[in-house]
Chain A
Amino acid sequence: MMLNVENIRSQFPILQQQIYNKPLVYLDNAATTQKPQSVIDALCGYYTHDNANVHRGVHMLSERATAAYESARDKIRALINAASTREIVFTRGATEAINLVASSWGETNIGAGDEVLISEMEHHSDIVPWQMLCERNGAKLVVAPINDAGELMFDAFEAKLSERTRLVGMVHLSNALGTINPVSDIIAKAHAVGAKVLLDGAQAVAHLNIDVQALDCDFYVTSAHKMYGPTGIGVLYAKEALLESMPPYQGGGDMISMVTFEKTQYNDLPYKFEAGTPNIAGAIGFGAAVDWLCETGVELIAAHEQRLLVYATEEALKFEGLTLIGTAENKATVLSFTIDGVHPHDLGTILDREGVAIRAGHHCAMPVMQHFGLPATARASFAAYNTETEIDVLFAALKKAQEIFA
């Protein structure tokens, strides 16, 4: 069965527009995906009919809002096959989820002489929180290198694991390179030395099937807006025993069960980690995005994106003066490249005038750029609604850029 792309495109109102009198070709999906009508309706419907605070009121609206908020949590639990909704903590996004783990679990479990092992292809969000923690606690940030194809050098990764390694932080699907990491093997090796593993799934969840129990990962984080949901909402999955052992991240309302000036008793999981009125609309929109993904089929989407990536890669290899950055054997959805004599930012501007939206820059992964000795790359990234015709438009626009700089 193939994805019905025309039907999918019709569900995304934003795609029905022209940019400089040309059809919008949106290829910046690794930055954020567009939102289907069902997600927009969920956000709008919540504010139109159900807006109330959650977990408090006894009135109808609050009950509806709470039910919708909690049902979104269960949808996310089911999507990644977590054992319980107690393991699903809403956050502002993947970045806040990593900061939560670094602050709460990290502060209590990582001290002087301990090590945090990450990879050279991490996004800044999976570098900086650990760097900050290591600086505070006298721990060491250790980096496993990548090869020139943009793949983790597994032997070197293994060699850097030791009994000092307390945590491995690893991107599941690299936003800058498209590399899919061998996360099962990484987790097995890390567990063998007693380290916990946090997977950064910000890019992965819209493109791969995730089963946190089969993976046996300790922490998994993602953001809704990279999987057809709204911005400002994401999730931390953590094994229940870990969450039980962790101190709260922030204090405030909703995360307590009893407060006196002498002592506060914290709420049960997952609420212990959700201080303050949450992003209720965002969570409900997130739930609608999960529904959309499941109804459309993650596997069908992935197969479609893989066809697009193969086609785009073939076109790229034929394109004179183009160098692909990130040629991992196991990769998805991302085509990162440079063009001789044309800076990525100039490419970005020229492509924009052709209606083509791509990302030009360091992709919040400056160490990846440093590895390849580049200030920036251009990146096209694909989603369910992209077509081969759009890839043709991309390459025609690249040709135009070359002509301008000829």
Chain B
Amino acid sequence: MFDLRDLYQQVIVDHNKSPRNFGKLDDCNHQADGYNPLCGDKLHIYLRINDAGTIEDVSFEGDGCAISVASASLMTDALKGKTVQESQIMFEQFQHMATSDLSESPDEKKLGKLAVLAGVREFPSRIKCATLCWHTLQAAINDAASPAKTE
């Protein structure tokens, strides 16, 4: 049986306590809201993407559980310097990890630090907490008019 520590690994607890890239990004050129109506978790993602399609900077603001805050913190760290195209592959890999069968170990080579969130697979009601920031990222890249939802 999975232990709570599989979900609340120290890295997650740390990122929740002191989230990276937290706050407004003044010179952003894309942004979007994300909302999980079930929990009331709210996120706002700021992006600065240059003409070459590279994410130069990214930050977030919001209010949510440890999983959603840590996931957004880890995501923003991982996205810096990546191209939009690369971010799409990361999104797919992350989603795959968060919903894959428990017998499949996360591909740490591809996922890097994001692999610490693999524990959500064991907690179905919490998968959306981990993926909300990624859906919000999509909304920001696409300049979506309405907030991203995990539904």
Interface residues of chain A, those whose CB is within 8 Å of chain B, are: 20, 341-346, 349-350, 353, 360-362, 366, 369, 375-376, 404-405
Contacts and interface: CB of A to CB of B under 8 A. Distances in A.
B135 interface: no
B129 A345 contact: yes
Given A343-B64, A345-B129, A375-B64, A369 B4 contact: no
B41 A361 contact: no
B13 A405 contact: yes
B38 interface: yes
Contact of A375 (B7, B8, B40, B67): B40
B64 A349 contact: no
Interface string B49-60: 000000000000
A375 B4 contact: no
B1 interface: yes
Nearest to A354: B4
A38 B84 CA distance: 60
A349 B120 CA distance: 11
Interface residues of B, number: 22
Question: Which of A341, A349, A361 has the most B CB atoms < 10 Å from its CB?
Answer: A349
A98 B25 CA distance: 46
A376 B39 contact: yes
Contacts of A346: 8, 65-67
B65 A369 contact: no
Interface string B26-53: 0000000000001111100000000000
A349 B123 contact: yes
B64 A404 contact: no
B63 interface: yes
30 contacts: A20-B1, A341-B17, A343-B66, A344-B65, A345-B41, A345-B64, A345-B65, A345-B67, A345-B129, A346-B67, A349-B4, A349-B7, A349-B125, A349-B126, A350-B4, A350-B8, A353-B4, A361-B39, A361-B40, A362-B40, A366-B40, A369-B40, A375-B41, A375-B63, A404-B4, A404-B5, A404-B8, A404-B13, A405-B16, A405-B17
